[in-house]
């Protein structure tokens, strides 16, 4: 099955969600989705659809590089790891690639709570991704 068919619902949702500069391409057996979502709910919805089609993202046949518009106002959260840095991942899951790290006690911007376990965040350096919520403490 072609990836464009397999992920038709994901692609249709991305197209209907107001994602700026949306680019969808299939290369070497991987579907690439790029663009800027108008808000975190749109990004979270795409990840939810991806997870429904491919539970736990096992096939690894989608690369989603969708950021959230910087106009989104978020609250702050403190990294409360014991000693190590907190991994920031491309998607909500430990199987997702690490796209950045936040240091213990660093204050980062909380964009959205994807679910009870994974929150969408942005560091002061502009790195955006998902962190495991138990290591974040909302402030202010």
Q: What confidence score (pLDDT) does residue 69 get?
A: 77
Q: What confidence score (pLDDT) does residue 73 get?
A: 59
Q: Give phi and psi for 51, each to the nearest 5.
A: -65, -35
- CA dist 61 and 134 (Å) reads 29
Same domain, 82 and 64: no
19 and 38 in contact (C-beta within 8 Å)? yes
Full-model pTM: 0.68
Please report where in the chains the tokens 């997702």 appear, as a residue: 96
Q: What ranges in the chain are assigned the alpha helix state H?
A: 3-6, 8-16, 40-53
Give the pair of three-digit tokens for residue 1.
Answer: 């099955």
In this structure, what CATH number is given to the domain that contains residue 97? 2.30.30.40
Q: Give phi and psi for 19, each to the nearest 5.
A: -75, 125
- Average per-residue pLDDT for the chain: 89
Whether residue 1 has pLDDT greater than 80: no
Tell me: the pLDDT tens digits for 84-125?
A: 999 999 999 998 999 999 999 999 999 888 788 999 999 988
Higher pLDDT, 116 or 10: 10
Give the pair of three-digit tokens for residue 70.
Answer: 């910087």
Same domain, 103 and 87: yes
In this structure, what CATH number is given to the domain that contains residue 21? 3.30.1340.30
Tell me: the pLDDT tens digits for 40-80?
A: 889 999 999 999 999 878 888 999 989 887 655 568 999 99
Q: For the chain, count helices (H), then strands (E).
A: 3, 10
Q: Which of 19, 44, 68 corresponds to the end of one domain?
A: 68
Q: What ranges in 8-91 are assigned the alpha helix state H?
A: 8-16, 40-53
Same domain, 97 and 45: no
Strand partners, 25: 32
Q: Which of 15, 36, 68 corresponds to the end of one domain?
A: 68
Q: Which of 11, 35, 68 corresponds to the end of one domain?
A: 68
- CA dist 139 and 61 (Å) reads 37
Which one-letter DSSP state was computed for residue 96?
A: S
Give the pair of three-digit tokens for residue 137.
Answer: 């403490």
Same domain, 56 and 87: no
Q: What confidence score (pLDDT) does residue 135 get?
A: 96
Total domains in the chain come to 2
The alpha carbons of the chain give a radius of gyration, in whole angstroms, of: 15
Write out the residue range of the structural domain in which residue 41 sits.
Answer: 3-68
Please report where in the chains the tokens 């790195």 appear, as a residue: 127
Q: What confidence score (pLDDT) does residue 6 get?
A: 94
Tell me: the pLDDT tens digits for 18-45?
A: 998 999 999 999 999 999 998 888 999 9
């Amino acid at each position: 099955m072609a990836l464009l068919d397999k992920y038709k619902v994901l692609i249709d949702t991305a197209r209907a969600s107001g994602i700026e500069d949306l680019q969808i391409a299939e290369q070497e057996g991987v579907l690439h989705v790029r663009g800027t979502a108008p808000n975190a709910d749109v990004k979270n919805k795409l990840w939810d659809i991806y997870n429904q089609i491919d539970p736990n993202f096992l096939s690894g046949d989608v690369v989603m590089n969708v950021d959230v518009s910087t106009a989104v106002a978020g609250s702050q959260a403190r990294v409360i790891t014991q000693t190590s840095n907190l991994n920031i991942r491309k998607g909500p899951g430990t199987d997702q690639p690490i796209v950045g790290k936040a240091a213990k006690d660093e204050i980062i911007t909380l964009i959205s709570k994807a679910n009870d376990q994974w929150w969408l965040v942005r560091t002061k350096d502009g790195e955006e991704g998902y962190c495991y919520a138990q290591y974040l403490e909302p402030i202010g």
